[in-house]
Homo-oligomer: A and B are copies of this chain.
């Protein structure tokens, strides 16, 4: 999941995200009798046997553990899959081939131009008051340092406000931001804007504490962006523990000196692809319900959680519906986005390329906040759609997933369409520890659990199936 979006037509920066889903539209009690008929309620309720079949096949039947096993094979085979690399393209080829083998329909890649960013070798070394290696990760799209690195005294601040009040001290220094972690949504601004804020006052580089509430000395990377009007300076994340240590040393009045070396640079523009597969609708194939996750990852860990899990429940839900011969009236389209982590590049291209089609899009789903134990759906919808979804989640009692939450943010890649008024959803799941692993070497298969993946696959498949099969189109907001 990447939270920063730089799409020029969107001025609303998506820092609404608090923890994972803040700024809920108040869950006002809707009187659904005003919005949906008794017969529509009955129609939705009539899907219970199909939902039960999907759940049973996924959780207990021959699809049991298949999402986990497919995902594990994939991430063990390819490791992380960073935008602009051949490895990601090989992984996309694999998914296209595999989709064809599973007899998914309209399987193809859609081209996306991606500017490669290459991390290269990098290090941070504490030189004063004593020598120590500081595990670190450069932040996305950062510039590099000269080959000998940048050696400078460190100015430690806990906030942008503190930096402003001490701006005269920043000249020629490396500014280290050690904000208290409030929530990802509230604290990530220190990742995205550290370099620009520090450069404004003459700093030669910037460092941040990793944006995570808990650490076992693991650094976390992620995107940052430079403001237009300031000098670009290198920026990297230290571990929480080392950032705290440097703050303690600095608070004691001791001078802290660090050498930062980063080979980070931009490479060529490469061609990547969004990966598409469908189950074509039996009656209205032009009408679309989308389930999605992103196939690319950061260049650390295995990208199993962010977003292997989301991609594979979206893919395996389609495989399973196909295998069970559950073909709905409308088309279900699985999209495995590319280059999400480096700025929703795949989604933005798809948005441009499919402008003429979206009037037919009924509903759009993305899983990009982990695939832990699910308990329902987090959705964006108008009142009538909300009443439909409230009926749909009632069918998920066998999964203990009958909760729903009406929000104004439910995804990363799908945000552009949600903002155009297309209704959509993501998972409600027990992802309290998501940021412990996020964008770090700790994002591996060990975070994933076969049973949770089965449940998410079932919930995803059943939701998509019902919404794609209802007699009437899903209402626009």
**Interface of A with B (CB < 8 Å)?**
72-73, 76-79, 129-130, 132, 135, 215-218, 240-242, 244-245, 248-249, 252, 301-302, 436-437, 440-442, 444-446
Query: What are 29 A-B interface contacts by the 8 Å CB criterion?
Result: A73-B252, A76-B245, A76-B248, A76-B249, A77-B130, A78-B130, A79-B130, A79-B132, A135-B441, A215-B216, A215-B446, A216-B218, A216-B436, A216-B440, A216-B441, A217-B301, A217-B441, A217-B442, A218-B218, A240-B446, A241-B302, A241-B442, A241-B444, A241-B445, A241-B446, A244-B445, A245-B302, A245-B444, A248-B445
Residues from chain B with a CB closer than 8 A to the CB of A73 are 252
Q: A135-B441, A217-B301, A245-B445 are in contact. List 8 more A-B contacts (CB 8 A).
A: A76-B248, A215-B442, A216-B218, A216-B440, A216-B442, A241-B445, A242-B444, A248-B445
Set of chain B residues within 8 Å of A216, measured between Cβ atoms: 215-216, 218, 436-437, 440-442
Could you tell me the distance between the alpha carbons of A215 and B218 in the complex, rounded to whole angstroms? 10
How far apart are the CA atoms of A446 and B440 in the complex, in Å?
18
Which residues in B have their C-beta under 8 angstroms from that of A446?
Answer: 215, 240-241, 244
Please measure, in the bound complex, the distance between the C-alpha atom of A418 and the C-alpha atom of B319, giving whole angstroms: 63
Q: Which B residues touch A302, using CB under 8 A? A: 241, 245
Do residues A444 and B248 form an inter-chain contact, with CB atoms below 8 A? no
Contacts of A72 in B (CB 8 A): 248
Tell me whether A217 and B440 are in contact in the complex, defined as CB-CB below 8 angstroms, given that A244-B445, A245-B76, A248-B445 are known contacts: yes
Q: Which chain B residues border A442 with CB–CB below 8 Å?
A: 215-217, 241
Complex alpha-carbon distance, A301 and B217, angstroms: 8
Q: Looking at the assembled complex, report how far the CB atom of A271 sits from the nearest CB atom of chain B, in whole angstroms.
A: 23
**Cβ–Cβ < 8 Å partners of A445 in chain B:** 241, 244-245, 248
Q: Closest Cβ of chain B: how far from A445's Cβ, in Å?
A: 7
Q: Could you tell me the distance between the alpha carbons of A295 and B408 in the complex, rounded to whole angstroms? A: 54
**Bound-state Cα–Cα, A135 to B441, Å:** 10
The 5 closest A-B pairs by CB, nearest first: A216-B442, A241-B444, A217-B441, A217-B442, A216-B216
In the complex, what residues of B have CB within 8 A of residue A79's CB?
Answer: 130, 132
Closest to A87 in B: B130
**Distance in Å from the Cβ of A86 to the closest Cβ of chain B?**
12
Q: Considering the chains assembled together, what is the distance between the CA atoms of A442 and B210 in angstroms?
A: 14
Which residue of chain B has the shortest Cβ distance to A444 in the bound complex? B241
Complexed CA–CA distance, A73 and B130 (Å): 13
